Amino acid sequence: MKPFRCLIAVLFFFAIVSINQHLHAQTPADRVTTPIDDRLSVARPGNVHPLARAEFDAGPVAPDHRLERMLLVLQPDAAQQRALEALLAAQQDPQSPQYHRWLTPETFGKMFGVSERDLQQVTAWLLGHGFEVEPAPSSRRQLLFSGTAAQVEAAFHTQIHVYRVNGETHYANSTDPEIPAALAAVVQGVASLNDFHSVAMHQGPLDTKLRPLSRPAPEYSSGGTNYMAPADFATIYDVAA
């Protein structure tokens, strides 16, 4: 068992070193290093709602249809992600010097967000397509923007369609959005390109082909939005009984 314990101790040591390096890092690395060209695009798979299907499709929305507060999800690089996972584990370990040492949004952004230059380039790209962009949050992990269906089609190479599901009318993107290849390192995808809302399984899903689960399976996250259960709140703010 001793060699195994030594290995765990070594891994833990390097995790703490990685955390401390990021804590003292001045800025994240720039990852948008080539000119942004809309003609060179890559798809972002997994960004189509499961109910946006051909059998429910009623055709495209009007070009001037407004989509409010869409969410462009930004992603960390591999080193940032590893450091974040190590920090999250250390914050829950009573033996760690990082135990319950929570970060401010500003510190989180400096450690695990995209660089200021990359953020400016992504923002400029959205503005160039006519979108209204809200001030970036301190975390530098997402951008909220609003615009028309025509602007979405031009920027993300996808159409917004009307879908009629069980008597309800919704809108959603019909294919996975695309982004310029130059932004692929920092843009994970686009959330909120639809107005479908999560429905509790016991209340009856929109799609009649879906069936209630045999046991509860709550969904705590949706796209770029994170939800907090009571136990999470108690742990984060150290108010657990």
Q: For 14-108, where are the E strands, in sequence order?
A: 41-43, 57-60, 66-74
Is it the case that residue 188 has pLDDT exceeding 60? yes
Residue 205 has pLDDT above 50, yes or no: no
Q: How confident is the model at residue 231 (pLDDT cuts 50, 70, 90)?
A: low
* E-only strand ranges, 38-195: 41-43, 57-60, 66-74, 132-133, 142-148, 160-165, 168-173, 178-180, 187-191
Tell me the average pLDDT across 147-159.
98
Q: Give the Å distances, CA to CA, from 239 to 102, 232, 233, 236.
A: 14, 10, 8, 8
Q: Where are the domains of the chain?
A: 1-29+77-104, 31-75+114-198
Helix, strand and coil percent figures for the chain, each rounded to 5? 35, 20, 45
Average pLDDT over residues 12-29: 56
Q: Of 232 and 182, which is predicted with more confidence?
A: 182
pLDDT tens figures, 72-126: 999 999 999 999 999 999 999 999 999 999 999 999 999 999 999 999 999 999 9
